[in-house]
């Protein structure tokens, strides 16, 4: 795992040239849902990001920075401005594809730390997606692309504080890129494409205004957090923060074994997440759950499946179960459940798992047992609950 200080790499205006000491992720007290949502996105960025809503001083930004610091280094195409993945040539940027064609499809590789990009609230569309120099293209016949935030964030973590204050159009662009994994810029018949696969983390204080429902739904996972009320845990927060302020290096060294352990667990999960299988019964359980809660659209169903697979991979398993689905639904549904002003959208994973088991027993016909998953046969040990 790379050293926490390496996050101070110079990535232009979007990453600070020097960063304060980063508080260890594993030292954060409580806020388990928030930490789980972040870790699942770290396992599989295709989940689509997480929105963390809560009052001030609840470690929202601390958790985002800490997650980026413990993520394993990534292998990239050497000298690529966009950090293209050497193992996935179909996702390469326009420049890498042209270089590969000129060099017999062989490009040198290098390693770099996972980037952390902090998007300012004042960011414009051009600063986010990048710009094409049309004048240079017309006068010299050369295509020149100036990368934006999406390029710097590729294969890293893109953090937006006060996302509710960001222009809606810019939020749309970010969410589109997070979902598609690619950024395409076209102007006057000239186009440039590069990969834009990143962990999107947005934080906000609802007291300062909420996101439009359309944008809220497009965040794959959402977590509502509040300050911890248990006195002993509040004391622990104070003690750890004082120790960190007194000697941040010693404090990080103390937590380094746990940070390394979590980093290795995420890295292992990334290698097996695509191998995680699911049965027809699992899909029916997810569909029955979202239908019973009157969730609009189908984005929630897909999100639950992706997050459940990431949860299984994180636990070292290659097949999902009802508990994985419940844990995923706990993060994917609260911001999508319709509610009146007097109804609570909060629902625990235990309640969700109980509902899943009830629905599975009612909705899944006998002939689905042992039916094929979308990739491999369902595990033989799965039985109707």
User: Which tokens sit at 318?
Assistant: 């290659």
User: Which tokens sit at 48?
Assistant: 């689509």
Residues 6+ apart with CB under 8 A from 71: 42, 114, 156, 157, 263, 266
CA 261, CA 259: separation in Å to the nearest integer? 5
CA 118, CA 148: separation in Å to the nearest integer? 12
- Pair 299, 218: CB distance under 8 Å: yes
Taken in order 92, 95, 99, 101, the sign of the CA dihedral is: positive
- Pair 156, 6: CB distance under 8 Å: no
Q: Which of 218, 299, 309, 336 is catalytic?
A: 299
- DSSP letter (8 states) at residue 114: P
Taken in order 219, 284, 294, 322, the sign of the CA dihedral is: negative
Count the Cβ atoms, other than its own, within 10 Å of residue 147.
21
Establish whether 99 is a catalytic residue.
Answer: no
Beta strand residue intervals within 247-304, DSSP E: none
Q: For tokens 């993520």, name the residue.
A: 71
- Pair 237, 195: CB distance under 8 Å: no
- Cα 259 to chain centroid, rounded: 18
Q: For tokens 């998007």, name the residue.
A: 119
**Which of helix, strand or coil describes residue 308?**
helix
Active-site positions? 299
């Amino acid at each position: 795992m790379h050293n926490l200080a390496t996050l101070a790499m110079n990535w232009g205006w979007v990453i600070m040239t020097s960063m304060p000491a980063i508080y260890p992720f594993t030292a954060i007290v409580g806020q388990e849902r928030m930490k789980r949502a972040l870790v699942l996105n770290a396992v599989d960025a295709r989940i689509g990001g997480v929105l963390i809503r809560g009052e001030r001083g609840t470690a929202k930004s601390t958790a985002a920075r800490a997650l980026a610091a413990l993520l394993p280094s990534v292998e990239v195409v050497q000298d690529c401005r966009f950090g293209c993945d050497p193992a996935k040539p179909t996702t390469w940027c326009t420049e890498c594809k042209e270089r590969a064609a000129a060099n017999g499809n062989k490009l040198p590789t290098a390693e770099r730390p996972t980037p952390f990009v902090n998007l300012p609230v004042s960011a414009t569309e051009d600063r986010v997606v990048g710009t094409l120099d049309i004048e240079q293209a017309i006068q010299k016949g050369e295509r020149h692309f100036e990368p934006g935030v999406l390029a710097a964030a590729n294969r890293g973590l893109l953090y937006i504080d006060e996302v509710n204050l960001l222009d809606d159009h810019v939020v749309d662009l970010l969410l589109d890129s997070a979902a598609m994994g690619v950024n395409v810029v076209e102007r006057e018949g000239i186009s440039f494409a590069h990969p834009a696969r990143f962990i999107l983390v947005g934080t906000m204080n609802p007291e300062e205004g909420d996101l439009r429902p359309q944008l809220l739904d497009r965040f794959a996972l959402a977590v509502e957090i509040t300050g911890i009320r248990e006195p002993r845990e509040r004391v622990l927060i104070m003690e750890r923060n004082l120790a960190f302020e007194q000697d941040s290096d010693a404090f990080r060294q103390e937590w380094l074994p746990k940070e390394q352990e979590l980093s290795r667990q995420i890295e292992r999960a990334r290698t097996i997440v695509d191998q995680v299988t699911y049965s027809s019964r699992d899909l029916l359980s997810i569909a029955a759950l979202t239908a019973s809660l009157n969730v609009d659209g189908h984005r929630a169903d897909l999100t639950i499946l992706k997050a459940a697979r990431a949860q299984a991979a994180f636990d070292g398993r290659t097949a999902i179960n009802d508990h994985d689905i419940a844990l995923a639904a706990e993060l994917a549904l609260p911001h999508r459940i319709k509610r009146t002003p007097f109804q609570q959208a909060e629902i625990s994973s235990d309640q969700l798992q109980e509902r899943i088991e009830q629905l599975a027993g009612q909705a899944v016909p006998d002939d689905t047992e042992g039916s094929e998953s979308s990739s491999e046969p369902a595990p033989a040990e799965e039985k109707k609950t």
